[in-house]
Structure 1
Amino acid sequence: MKASNFADQSDITVSDPRELKRTVAGTAIGNFTEWYDFGTYSYVVTIISTVFFPTSSLADIASFAALAVSFVARPIGGIFWGMLGDRIGRKGVLAITVLMMAAGTAGLGLLPGYAAIGIAAPILLFVARAVQGFSTGGEYVGAMIFLSEHAPDRQRGHVCSFLPVGTLAGYITGALFVILLQATLTHEQMVSWGWRIPFLVAAPLGFVGMYLRQKLDETPAYENQDDSERMNKRSPVEQGKETIARQWRPMLIAAGLVLSFNVTNYMLTGYLPTYLTEKLDVASNPALIIIVIVMVIIGLIVTFLGNLSDRIGRKPIMWAGSIMLAVLSLPTFLLILKGGYLSIFLGTLPMGLMLVCFMSTEPSTLPALFPTSTRYGATAISYNLSVSAFGGTTPLIAAALVDFTGDLLVPAYILIIAGVVGIVSIWFMAEPAGKPLEGASPTVASEEEAEEMRAELQPAMA
């Protein structure tokens, strides 16, 4: 927001620290549920191939295609939930999406396999993934916006960086659950029923998430809008057309940033487990443990980088991630291809460090690109279209290209492209750190800070 707009704000929102902590917990549980599902699916994809595609010579690719279906459904969900969130509020939408998302995950665990119902089994698998994807289309974006609109302007990077903590915790929990099951059950037991257990656990997570979110307050930025700003009298189609027409430039920037983030994310978490086991003959559990260790390291530094972004800006950290993608992706995969657990770990760790540069900054950056009245819809459309077209399909595309070309460095080439796109997107982005969200009054952490700001604004308002 321009400096002149600060003077027009007679109201300053003071954030309640206790409410902010509840907001962080309530939003993070949705990300936990989403990535618990994704981590579990990625780690049992070879078993899912056996259960649902036993007669296919391309079973792993078919299983990744089922995963990709959820990303095809995400833009539809993003448009639906995004427009709804701008019309009726953020809180109600988030309460629904977390429950629906958990239902889609748990439903997968109840599906009969190909041996029981034939071709209907993979069809139902695709349906379950579509339900999960539709709900997820409004989940992560809604959580980013909900937390951004509650956070103090000068602490937004730090506060929003707790969102990926939920993401990482969900992924790590799902991975550790699968590792435990594989260590205690035979392969036959895992194929027969063991793989279902992690998915079924998602059901109570959904109810817990809905309960926590219903206890939260709606965001000040949304509540303080005029009725005309909310566009409540407009149809979703009209609202969507205006959103795209007015916000196309920041939507392109957002889509580019999301591409870099999610291609890296899904390459590391979605494809690498299968890449290591299928292409490099690494045993399943050691491969999973290496990636989990990297994710734990990311979890330990993500909030530090979020806090740092409040001090030095979001762009320098994003620059670092994009440049590393463009320069270091090829060396990291060459190191992975040397084989041996140490080389694989040392090759995987830089990929995690590239990822955390985006993971720590994008939750506070993307919502700042758009005004309050269209923030949910514009962010959801750009985010989910980019994730669906590029991020979520990364495991499928990487697996197919590696199989087709026989070149084990294909994943590195994909990451290099993602880094270049990130560099271009950041170049055109304005620095959002420390500024109020567009269309919202300044938000501060204390009454003392509010008084200081009023004193600074008084001459301009006089």
Structure 2
Amino acid sequence: MSAGDSTIRNEPLQIDDITVIDKGKVKKAVTAAALGNAMEWFDFGVYGFVAFALGKVFFPEASPSVQTIAALATFSVPFLVRPLGGVFFGVMGDRFGRQKVLSATIILMAVSTFCIGLIPSYDSIGLLAPILLLLCKLAQGFSVGGEYTGAAVFVAEFAPDRKRGFLSSWLDFGSIAGFVLGAGVVVVLSSILGEARFLEWGWRVPFFLAAPLGLIGLYLRHAAEETPAFTEQLERMEKEDQDAVGSAPRISFKEIVGRYWRSLLACVGIVLVTNVTYYMLLTYMPTYLSHNLHYSEDHGVLIIIVVMIGMLFVQPVVGWASDRVGRRPFIAAGSLGLLVGAVPAFHLITSGNIGLIFVGLLLLAVLLNCLIGVMASTLPAMFPTRVRYSALATAFNISVIICGVTPTAAAWLVEVTGDLMMPAYYLMAVALVGLLTAWLMRETANRPLRGDTPNASSRREARELLQQAYDHIEASVGDLDVQIEGLQAKIDDLQQRKQVLVDRHPDLV
């Protein structure tokens, strides 16, 4: 705990200072956050898998290659407004609470996604069609700016310290499940309707499904309670200053950068390596398989669906294991795997053999699991409660601007160079960032969130955590005693040197 993280305690830590989290509340919080995240990534999944159709519907006069790049660019442009959404919803989340803001983000996400299905084609209204598509995507980008980070904070603040990795991993389980659902809907519709009717109106149906999904997510989030950490923060503010309750945290972004620069850099590094890999595999790869490797759209999508279903089983296992061995080993392993395995994986993907293609994609998927399995539990632990949402949302979404151009950049690089290995080189570059981040970051597993008191899942676990806290305090006091002794020796040495000089001066004796 650093200075300024929370009010300094002058009394001994007691058993009642450790929050025992109700299992029912944890389950409700995880479900509400994961379902909302699933809806967010349902849209991203649908958009990636129907990019070929959107290119023909909204950019019909362009060549097939330009159609694909234009459709993917429309996917990437909204990432430019995500930092604005992150700052706005982050400040609101630190001011009014996580639960209220998450209810607002899911409404905006559902409405903007639903509206995409209503946009007429280019043949009907001309240039206005792609403009309306871009506006809807910008609204999505703004809402998503507060969605993932808010959900990660929400789950992390509810989770017991010893289970935070496992419980937070379900957040990205929701992401993958949303992708699977989106992809599955696209495959079923295109198979039943055929390409002509799918291009005519079938592509709209997946976007219309956002409405019922959004209502379900809104109900669950509205029913969930505010997190214990934020409630405790409000109680501290009430004791310090009644007028401070409901006001924005009195700390500027400049102060956040100055005080938490190491956490911000670690956040940026983790987000870059994780999300670039995410978008490369789950958003760009269907287009890569169909456009560059000339597989049918349905064939390529089916392969990705099978890979993602496999990821669903691995995701909670990684989260569970990270509670035992730590988060850093998984970030390092995933990054190192990408560095040495990206090129071999793409050689398998471009081999023309279905079995080898699947193995190549599965290799990338397992490495991605190593990263997303720990991201949601790692990031919120880096910042104290009063700035956790705003600081994390800002850093996360600035990083995501770079990540969001991944599908467009990869498609453009392959088109310009004619080299099918360009996506692999792209992944190797971000893998270096991941390795550096894993080396520099602090371990957060099995520790309280920064500046917070410990969370336990039972009274017995609370007593164990209290003893661990006492042991840590004793060890820290011992370390400080050693440091004080070292400083005292230096002070004595300086005093002796001073006295030697004083003795040599007649007026100072």
> Is the TM value for this pair above 0.5?
yes
1:299 pairs, out of 312, 328, 332, with 312
Change (3 A) 1:256 1:337: same
Q: TM-score, normalized by length of structure 2? A: 0.87
In the aligned structure 1, how far is the partner of 2:337 from the partner of 2:164?
A: 25
The aligned length equals 460
In the aligned structure 1, how far is the partner of 2:325 from the partner of 2:110?
A: 37
Tell which deviates more after alignment, 203-212 or 229-238.
229-238
Return the letter of the residue paired with 1:356.
N
Change (3 A) 1:113 1:434: same
Give deviations 1:138-187, integer Å, cap 9, x for gaps. Answer: 00100000000000001100110111111111100000000001110121
Change (3 A) 1:33 1:321: same
Give deviations 1:336-355, integer Å, cap 9, x for gaps. Answer: 11112112111111110110
Change (3 A) 1:233 1:330: same
Are 1:123 and 2:131 counterparts? yes
In the aligned structure 2, how far is the partner of 1:443 from the partner of 1:427?
A: 27
In the aligned structure 2, how far is the partner of 1:67 from the partner of 1:245?
A: 33
Return the letter of the residue paired with 2:365.
G
Give deviations 1:308-366, integer Å, cap 9, x for gaps. Answer: 00001111111110000100001111111111211211111111011000111010000
Q: Which residues of 2 match residues 160-175 of structure 1 at below 5 A? A: 160-175=168-183
Q: Could you tell me which residue of structure 2 aligns to residue 212 of structure 1?
A: 220
- Are the aligned partners of 1:87 and 1:231 in contact in 2 as well (CA < 8 Å)? no
Structure 2: gaps (5+ residues): 3-7, 475-509
2:144 pairs, out of 136, 146, 158, with 136
- Are the aligned partners of 1:73 and 1:133 in contact in 2 as well (CA < 8 Å)? yes
In the aligned structure 2, how far is the partner of 1:191 from the partner of 1:8?
A: 67
Give deviations 1:363-384, integer Å, cap 9, x for gaps. Answer: 0000011111111011101111
- Are the aligned partners of 1:32 and 1:171 in contact in 2 as well (CA < 8 Å)? yes
Q: Which residues of 2 match residues 418-433 of structure 1 at below 5 A? A: 418-433=430-445
Are 1:370 and 2:383 counterparts? yes
In the aligned structure 1, how far is the partner of 2:247 from the partner of 2:469?
A: 35
- Are the aligned partners of 1:150 and 1:219 in contact in 2 as well (CA < 8 Å)? yes
Cα deviation, residue 118, structure 1: 0.5
In the aligned structure 2, how far is the partner of 1:168 from the partner of 1:275?
A: 19
Q: Could you tell me which residue of structure 1 aligns to residue 483 of structure 2?
A: none
Structure 1: gaps (5+ residues): none
Q: Which residues of 2 match residues 150-165 of structure 1 at below 5 A? A: 150-165=158-173
Q: Could you tell me which residue of structure 1 aligns to residue 352 of structure 2?
A: 339
1:274 pairs, out of 287, 291, 302, with 287
1:23 pairs, out of 20, 29, 42, with 29
Q: Could you tell me which residue of structure 2 aligns to residue 257 of structure 1?
A: 270
Change (3 A) 1:305 1:456: closer
Give deviations 1:71-124, integer Å, cap 9, x for gaps. Answer: 112111011101111111111000010111111111101111111111000000
Cα deviation, residue 8, structure 1: 5.9
Are 1:221 and 2:234 counterparts? no
In the aligned structure 1, how far is the partner of 2:166 from the partner of 2:12?
A: 27
Q: Could you tell me which residue of structure 2 aligns to residue 313 of structure 1?
A: 326
- Are the aligned partners of 1:231 and 1:239 in contact in 2 as well (CA < 8 Å)? no
1:104 pairs, out of 105, 112, 123, with 112
Aligned partner of residue 402 in structure 1, secondary structure: helix
1:64 pairs, out of 51, 55, 72, with 72
2:155 pairs, out of 147, 154, 175, with 147
- Are the aligned partners of 1:77 and 1:136 in contact in 2 as well (CA < 8 Å)? yes
Percent identity between the two aligned chains: 43
Higher Cα radius of gyration: 2
Cα deviation, residue 212, structure 1: 0.8
Change (3 A) 1:237 1:330: farther
